[in-house]
């Protein structure tokens, strides 16, 4: 069983949803990002999403754009991202790691070699924002061969004609982009989620994570009441960014501040009292 499947199975047995915090690789520098990553499981991260810096992040709002720019300015490269995962895996063989990014850096590495190298480093899944199902064959065979899950995005605009096709190539879990918008800009209402998630569940047994616009412990709790996992990205990066000096350097408490927030979010998720399993086969 993959780490992602094992983790969701364990959470289901425990009767609770998952918190998936996000960090941008190399933001604001490689050492700080690695310290954040290493601290996240103890702070309550169930799975971790790592953003891969890209010069042109079309689906991201200002917060994650700036994170990527800080990382690139500090010299971040894809090889460093994989090294970071490898370093993390030396101490943690259970927490699933998902890389999220854009296609071009993967193409530059070579899709086949990238999947093999990412899997060898300890990556469990990939989310490639600008790779819709129509172009999925560029990556899917190599990901499958390396045992990597390809986590597909589903948007409010994905209608029921499209859903089955989008879900067909998805594994690990599915990622519901809860707003029509870029990251960190708006938040979906509980009503919107209550309509959207059952619609997805009609077509899949995979766990559903909600992302884009989940910021507070209360919103994370709302997300795992409606679905199986909450992804929190921009809110954590905002916290990190506020601790940086004018040159973008971290403060002594930068990592601790972000991890405190992860702890609070995890508390929200754990107190959400999710349904008692079974119902959706989820």
Partner 1 sequence: MTDPVSAAPRGDASGSGANTLRNGPDARGRFGDYGGRFVAETLMPAVLEVERAYEAAKADPAFQAELDRYLKDYVGRPSPLWFAERLTAHFGGARIYLKREELNHTGAHKINACMGQILLARRMGKTRIIAETGAGQHGVATATVCALFGLPCTVYMGSTDVERQKPNVFRMKLLGAEVKPVTAGTGTLKDAMNEALRDWVANVRDTYYLIGTVAGPHPYPMMVRDFQCVIGDEAKVQMREATGRLPDVAVAAIGGGSNAMGLFHPFLDDSSVKLIGVEAAGRGIETGEHAASLAGGRPGVLHGERTYLLQDDDGQIKDAYSISAGLDYPGIGPEHSWLHDIGRVEYVSTTDREALDAFQLLTRTEGIIPALEPSHALAHVAKIAPAMNKDSTIVVGLSGRGDKDIFSVAKYLGVEL
Q: Which residues in this chain contact partner 1 in the complex, by CB under 8 A? A: 53-62, 65, 69, 72, 77-78, 102-109, 129-135, 152-159, 162, 166, 177, 180-182, 185
Output 95 or 183, the one with its CB closest to partner 1: 183
Output 56 or 253, the one with its CB closest to partner 1: 56
Output 76 or 224, the one with its CB closest to partner 1: 76
CB of 211 to partner 1, least distance (A): 12
**Dihedral angle of Cα 152, 155, 159, 162, to the nearest 10 degrees:** -20
CA distances from 142 to 50, 80, 113, 128 (A): 20, 21, 8, 14
Among 128, 100, 121, residue whose Cα is nearest residue 20: 100
Look up 83 and say whether it is catalytic: no
CB of 145 to partner 1, least distance (A): 21
CB of 262 to partner 1, least distance (A): 26
Look up 205 and say whether it is catalytic: no
Output 127 or 269, the one with its CB closest to partner 1: 127
CB 26 within 8 A of CB 52: no
| Alpha-carbon 150 to chain mean position | 12
Among 23, 51, 46, residue whose Cα is nearest residue 35: 23
24, 29, 46, 49: which one is catalytic? 49
Among 223, 215, 210, 227, residue whose Cα is nearest residue 261: 215
Other Cβ atoms within 10 Å of 163 Cβ, number: 17
CB of 104 to partner 1, least distance (A): 4
CB of 105 to partner 1, least distance (A): 4
Among 77, 94, 93, residue whose Cα is nearest residue 33: 77
60, 124, 149, 228: which one is catalytic? 60
Nearest 5 degrees, angle CA 59-CA 65-CA 68?
115
Phi then psi for residue 100, to 5 deg, are -120, 130
Output 65 or 146, the one with its CB closest to partner 1: 65
CA distances from 33 to 2, 71, 86, 212 (A): 25, 10, 13, 21
CB of 18 to partner 1, least distance (A): 21
CA distance 127 to 94: 19
Output 42 or 107, the one with its CB closest to partner 1: 107
What is the set of active-site residues? Answer: 49, 60
């Amino acid at each position: 069983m993959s780490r992602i499947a094992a983790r969701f199975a364990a959470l289901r047995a425990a009767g609770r949803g998952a918190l998936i915090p996000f960090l941008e690789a190399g933001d604001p520098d490689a050492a700080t990002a690695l310290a954040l990553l290493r601290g996240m499981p103890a702070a309550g991260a169930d799975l971790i999403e790592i953003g891969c810096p890209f010069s042109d992040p079309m689906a991201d709002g200002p917060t994650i754009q700036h994170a990527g720019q800080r990382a690139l300015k500090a010299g971040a490269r894809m090889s460093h991202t994989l090294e970071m995962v490898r370093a993390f895996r030396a101490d943690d063989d259970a927490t699933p790691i998902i890389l999220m990014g854009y296609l071009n850096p993967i193409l530059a590495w070579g899709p086949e070699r990238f999947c093999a190298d990412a899997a060898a480093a300890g990556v469990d899944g990939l989310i490639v924002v600008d790779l819709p199902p129509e172009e999925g064959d560029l990556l899917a065979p190599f990901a499958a061969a390396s045992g990597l899950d390809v986590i597909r995005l589903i948007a409010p605009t994905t209608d029921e004609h499209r859903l089955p096709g989008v879900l067909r190539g998805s594994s690990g879990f599915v990622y519901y982009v809860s707003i029509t918008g870029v990251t960190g800009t708006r938040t979906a209402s509980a009503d919107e989620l209550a309509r959207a998630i059952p619609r997805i569940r009609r077509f899949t047994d995979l766990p559903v994570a909600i992302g884009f616009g989940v910021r507070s412990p209360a919103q994370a709790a709302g997300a795992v009441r409606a679905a199986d996992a909450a992804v929190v990205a921009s809110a954590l990066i905002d916290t990190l960014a506020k601790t940086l000096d004018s040159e973008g350097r971290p403060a002594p408490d930068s990592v601790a501040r972000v991890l405190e927030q992860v702890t609070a979010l995890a508390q929200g998720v754990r107190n959400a009292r999710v349904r008692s399993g079974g119902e959706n086969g989820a």
